[in-house]
Amino acid sequence: MAAACAGMEAAAAAAPAPPPSPPPPAAAAAAAAGPGWAELVCAQGRNLKAVLCQRCGSRVLLPGAATFARRELLLPAMRKKAAAAAAAGGGDVVREHWLVRDMFSFENVGFTRDVGNVKFLVCADCEAGPIGWHCLDDKDSFYVALERVAHE
């Protein structure tokens, strides 16, 4: 099961562009900011603050609804149409996530249609995203990238 998901990660990465061998700057910055995430995580490893859409402030998760998890995932870039057309595809490797075990723990979220074995998560209100990742082979895991959401 895990192997299948890993396979899909590669496939998802390959879809827009060849997987970047050195991590892109965004991911490197996130890694450097690693200790900065600590203030968002409680002693039990849960999110201390509510998780919101960076763009419109829509409430994605209530405090305590998810646990902190590390996993390397490639998410397509959050880019507007014009810019996206110019830069045709690509994405960011993201490592720090809020892991949600029950899809109905989300306050508000949208699920894209399937891309291979994967559904991407977007803001329910303005559809900014992808903010997260879900593999159909693991029905109890929903990842929300810390660097793609706001915390309040």
Handedness of CA 55, 59, 62, 67 (dihedral sign): negative
Interface with another protein, residue 141, by CB under 8 A: no
| For another protein, the closer CB: 34 or 114 | 114
Find, among 79, 49, 80, the residue nearest to 144 by Cα. 49
| For another protein, the closer CB: 93 or 128 | 128
Q: How far is the CB of 31 from another protein (least distance, A)?
A: 24
| For another protein, the closer CB: 24 or 32 | 24
| For another protein, the closer CB: 3 or 104 | 104
148 token code pair: 């793609």
Considering only residues 28 through 57, tell me which ones interact with another protein, judged by CB under 8 A.
55-56
Do 123 and 131 form a contact (C-beta atoms < 8 A)?
A: yes
Considering only residues 50 through 89, tell me which ones interact with another protein, judged by CB under 8 A.
55-56, 58-59, 62, 65, 76-81, 84-85
Q: Quickly tell me which residue has 């559904």 as its tokens.
A: 119
Find, among 1, 39, 129, the residue nearest to 75 by Cα. 129
Q: How far is the CB of 137 from another protein (least distance, A)?
A: 10
Binding residues (CB under 8 A) for another protein: these are 16, 55-56, 58-59, 62, 65, 76-81, 84-85, 101-115, 119-120, 122-130, 134, 136, 139
